[in-house]
Amino acid sequence: MTMNKRISDKIYYIGVNDRATAKFEAMWPIPMGVSYNSYLVVGSEKAAIIDGVEVSHALSQIAYIRETLGDRQPDYLVINHMEPDHSGSIALLLHAFPGLQIVGNNQTLAMVKGYYGVADHTIAIKDGEELSLGDVTLQFFLTPLVHWPETMMTLLKEEKTLFTGDAFGCFGALNGAVVDTEMDAEPYFPEMVRYYSSIVGKYGRFVQKAIARLAGAEFDTVCPTHGPVWREHLSRVVDLYDKLSRYEPLDEGATIVYGSMYGNTERMAEAVAEGLAEAGVRNISMHNASVSDLSYILADVFRHRHLVLAAPTYSDGLFPPMATVVDAIAARSIPNRRVALVGSHTWAPRAVKAMTAAFESTPTEQSVEPITIKHSPDADALASARALAHTLVGK
């Protein structure tokens, strides 16, 4: 066990890095890789593993536990989150350490049984309950739907360290150091916004509940299941999560997402961008929906106050790459945005109607009159796109 894997007096890092998987959850690209963080809390009487790792890395985790504990056996496996990126190693952990008792809430234990057929050697805990490891104590906080129903957090009271599961986590493997004080943590922040927007973004309300539930918990270190351990940047990370989960834009910029087969809708999107720039918007993110990965689009939608969606009509509906984007934004129920829609068609306009319908039962509201163009945009149409930009930013 190298020095920088010892996080504090009682806590050791026993997680792993994945730089081989191209898409996390078979969906989200991870160019910086991802870490599956696991921690070992060694008390005077008992030792607890906090969360497992993805199954293909289970043997590494087991080796790190043996290296840290020597002849001593781990007593508990606390499961803050049952998603298989953290629970996949359960069966192998039980095989390696037969005395291990699994600690989780009722929902966790039902999932453990359903996924791994394990029903014995379990300890069901309730919100606020404590578990003594001898000279130190774990306390459990149920924080459901951040981002699964069973998610909870575990506090090591004496060391003011909170194990938060996926909350406050991010994409990006750990390149040597584990704690943010020992690295340049800056590259992880955009990856936190992208992780949050893609995976947690629908559950802002529950992230807010979790933050409220933690009000009484005293901690100065956060150990998430992905990315760095937060100590130096803890308040920045908590602020970022608070803002994202309140759906507050991070800046006054604009996201333009367009689909275009033959360039006509794209010309409208370009005209909107020119108008936004004229109106003084400095950070404008543009995405061709057929090219940009959805996670980068969603991250920009969470980041910027303004959102413009431009799409062709396709087979009496929405151009499919834009339908994917629109559905993903609608699924996340995002309020507090200034939104404009642009549609194109050749014989029967459907794009604006389809986008409007997708947002109908969501808090995402159009802020300006939509524009529909037929065939190729003429000078008037392009002028209306620039005007829409000015109206959108209130100028």
CB closer to ligand FMN out of 220 and 316: 316
- HSE-CB at 198 with a 13 A cutoff on CA atoms is 23
CB of 54 to Fe ion, least distance (A): 9
Identify which of residues 260 and 285 has a Cβ nearer to ligand FMN in the complex. 260
Q: In whole angstroms, what is the distance from residue 16 CA to residue 88 CA?
A: 13
**Nearer Cβ to Fe ion (102/340):** 102
Which residues, including other chains, have CB under 8 Å from residue 380's CB and lie 6 or more apart? none
Using the CB atoms, write b or e for 86-106: b if 16+ within 10 Å: bbbbbbbbbebbeebbbbbbe
Is the CB of 255 or the CB of 260 nearer to ligand FMN? Answer: 260
Three-class DSSP category at 76: strand
Helix, strand, or coil (residue 169): coil
- Going from the C-alpha of 111 to that of each of 82, 108, 150, 377, the distances in angstroms are 7, 5, 9, 54
Distances (CA, A) of 194 to 79, 244, 294, 300, 394: 25, 11, 10, 8, 28
Least distance from C-beta 173 to ligand FMN, angstroms? 39
Segment contacting Fe ion (CB under 5 A): 71-79, 82-90, 266-274, 377-385?
Answer: 82-90
What 3-state DSSP class applies to 194? helix
Binding site partner of 348, from ligand FMN, Fe ion, none, Cβ cut-off 5-8 A by kind = ligand FMN
The binder of 313, among Fe ion, ligand FMN, none, by C-beta within 5 to 8 A per type, is ligand FMN
Binding at 224: pick from Fe ion, ligand FMN, none (beta carbon under 5-8 Å per type) = none
87 binds, among ligand FMN, Fe ion, none (CB under 5 to 8 A by kind): none
Q: Which is nearer to Fe ion, 178 or 339 (CB)?
A: 178
Q: For residue 257, with 0-12 CB atoms within 10 Å meaning exposed, 13-18 middle and 19 or more buried, which class applies?
A: buried
Q: Is 191 in the site for Fe ion (CB under 5 A)?
A: no
Q: Are 366 and 353 in contact (CB under 8 A)?
A: no
Q: Which is nearer to ligand FMN, 74 or 259 (CB)?
A: 259
54 counts as binding Fe ion under rule CB under 5 A: no
Q: Which does residue 2 bind out of Fe ion, ligand FMN, none, counting CB within 5 to 8 angstroms by kind?
A: none
At 139, is the secondary structure helix, strand, or coil?
strand
3-state secondary structure 250-284: CEEEEEEEECCCCCHHHHHHHHHHHHHHHCCCCCE
166 binds Fe ion (CB under 5 A): yes
Where would I find the H helices in 217-350? 234-245, 264-278, 294-303, 320-331
Q: Min. distance of Cβ 226 from Fe ion in angstroms?
A: 6
Q: Could you give the CA distance from residue 250 to residue 241 in angstroms, rounded to a whole number?
A: 11
Q: Does 83 bind Fe ion (CB under 5 A)?
A: yes
Q: Is 51 in the site for Fe ion (CB under 5 A)?
A: no
Binding partner of residue 166 among ligand FMN, Fe ion, none, CB cut-off 5 to 8 Å per kind: Fe ion
Q: Tell me the closest approach of the beta carbon of residue 30 to Fe ion, in angstroms.
A: 12
Select 44 or 346, whichever has its Cβ closest to ligand FMN. 346
According to the binding rule CB under 5 A, does residue 85 interact with Fe ion? yes
Stretch binding Fe ion (CB under 5 A), from 8-16, 155-163, 164-172, 322-330: 164-172
Quote the CA–CA distance of 175 and 29 in Å, as a whole number.
18
User: Residue numbers of the site for ligand FMN (CB under 6 A)?
Assistant: 260-266, 312-316, 344-348
Please state the closest distance from residue 267 (CB atom) to Fe ion, in A.
41
180 binds Fe ion per the rule CB under 5 A? no
Give the shortest CB-178-to-Fe ion separation in angstroms.
17
Of 93, 98, 76, 84, which Cα lies nearest the Cα of 36? 84
Which residue lies nearer to Fe ion by CB, 64 or 171?
171
| Smaller CB separation from Fe ion, 112 or 281 | 112
126 contact partners, CB below 8 Å, separation of at least 6: 105, 140, 142
Between CA 319 and CA 290 the distance in angstroms is 10
Report in angstroms how near the CB of residue 294 gets to ligand FMN at its nearest: 20
Identify which of residues 166 and 180 has a Cβ nearer to Fe ion in the complex.
166
Residues 210-269 touching Fe ion, rule: CB under 5 A, are 225
Contacts with Fe ion, residue ranges (CB under 5 A): 83, 85, 166, 225
